[in-house]
Amino acid sequence: MNRTRRRLCAATLLPALPLFAKPALADAPWPTRAVRIVVPFAPGGGTDIIARALGGALGPRLKQPVTVDNKPGASTIIGADSVAKADAQSHVLLVSGSTTFTVNPALRSRLPYDPARDLALVAMIAKAPLVLAVNTSAPWKTLPELLAAARAKPRGLAFATFGPGSGPQLAGALLALEAGVQWLEVPYKGSGPALTDLLGGQLQFVIDTVASAGPQVKAGKLRALAVLGPARVSELPGVASLAELRMPRAAFDAWYALAAPARMPAAARAVVEREVRAAMADPALQATVRQQAMQPVFIGSDALKPIVDEEIARYRMLMHRANIVVD
């Protein structure tokens, strides 16, 4: 081979050299530094406690510190937006409730990010069942009795919601549509004031998490008429589910999941999913979740996506039928 041909061959090969000189980002080890979990709620709540417990279990497995960064506000939008817009090399994750992943995408048309494009689901890690409860002085002993009273007096029964698009509002709307009733929604800023007014007789019932209403039920101050999910829960074993009451289409499941920025390399997301699966098998972490009256679960990204898609379609239908407006 003459000198000219050797130079031509070398020049032809040169552009390919950088492809092999440096590993692709997707193949790089992960994590390479501390990991931050964003929680779009204030410190001290159930989501925050679960995120910190998960972070504590993940740290040794990932061999990096894992911290929690609380970014509350705007129905989880502020915190979710910060993760959705993180770059590919960021070491940030999101732990939030189904409000972020299904309710907001279904009901809000002006989000500052595209949930399907900008957030990548990793795994569902817990379920938070809702319960419908009345004051023990109320005349209704069963859910059918409450529904009969609502049919007899449209909008005559008042219940607490936490604003448009909140879990209690959607659960109440689903139940009303399925049962063919109407009731009066009264917005509250939180469970405490709502439960106080229920005990004081200003409300006829509440729809709230088992974590919030369960202790009052166990103390004999409230009577639980139904768990608004597909199955009974261990915290209230004597309370029937909507499926048992032959109203499965009205079931509402609140849940919590972990997500990553969609720009995070797929290999890094696979590491997170693998280690979250292992962490959620830890009895200590499961006990922490149960202490919040939630159910520990692990549903990976492939199985979680169709659940999210189905819920978004369902809530959009509900929004139109019940005339729910949140924007």
The DSSP code sequence of 86-133 is --TT--EEEEEEHIIIIIHHHH-S--SS-HHHHEEEEEEEEEE-EEEE
Inform me whether the pLDDT recorded for 10 exceeds 50: no
C-alpha separations of 168 from 16, 18, 84, 159, 175 in Å: 58, 56, 26, 9, 10
CB of 260 closer than 8 Å to CB of 269: yes
> Which residues, other chains included, contact 266 with Cβ-Cβ below 8 Å and sequence gap of 6+?
26
DSSP state of 257: E
pLDDT at 8 over 70: no
Measure the CA–CA gap between 213 and 106, rounded to whole angstroms.
27
Q: Rounded mean pLDDT of 170-183?
A: 93
Q: Find out whether 217 and 170 touch, Cβ atoms under 8 Å.
A: no
Q: With 60 as the cut, is the pLDDT of residue 74 above it?
A: yes
pLDDT in tens, 264-311: 999 999 999 999 999 999 999 999 999 888 999 999 999 999 999 999
The class that CATH gives domain 34-128+254-322 is: alpha beta
pTM score: 0.81
Per the structure block, which two tokens stand in for 310?
Answer: 């189905």
The secondary structure of residue 240, as a DSSP letter, is P
| Cis amide prior to 31 (ω within 30 degrees) | yes
Q: What is the mean pLDDT of residues 152-159?
A: 96
Q: Is 327 exposed, middle or buried (0-12, 13-18, 19+ CB in 10 A)?
A: exposed
How large a percentage of the chain has pLDDT more than 70? 91
C-alpha dist (Å) from residue 23 to 14, 26, 35, 70: 17, 8, 22, 34
Class of domain 130-250: alpha beta
Q: Exposed, middle or buried: residue 245 (CB in 10 Å: 0-12, 13-18, 19+)?
A: middle
How is the chain split into domains, by residue range?
34-128+254-322, 130-250
Is residue 150 scored above 90 in pLDDT? yes
Indicate the average pLDDT of the chain: 89
- 46 pLDDT tier (thresholds 50, 70, 90): confident
Tell me, yes or no, if the two domains 34-128+254-322 and 130-250 fold the same way. Answer: yes
CA dist., res. 195 & res. 168, Å (int): 13
Q: Do residues 242 and 226 touch, judged by C-beta distance below 8 A?
A: yes
Q: Which residue has the higher pLDDT, 222 or 6?
A: 222
- Using alpha carbons, select from 320, 322, 264 the residue that is nearest to residue 109: 320
The encoded tokens of residue 311 equal 């819920």
Q: Whole-angstrom Cα distance, residue 148 to residue 141?
A: 12
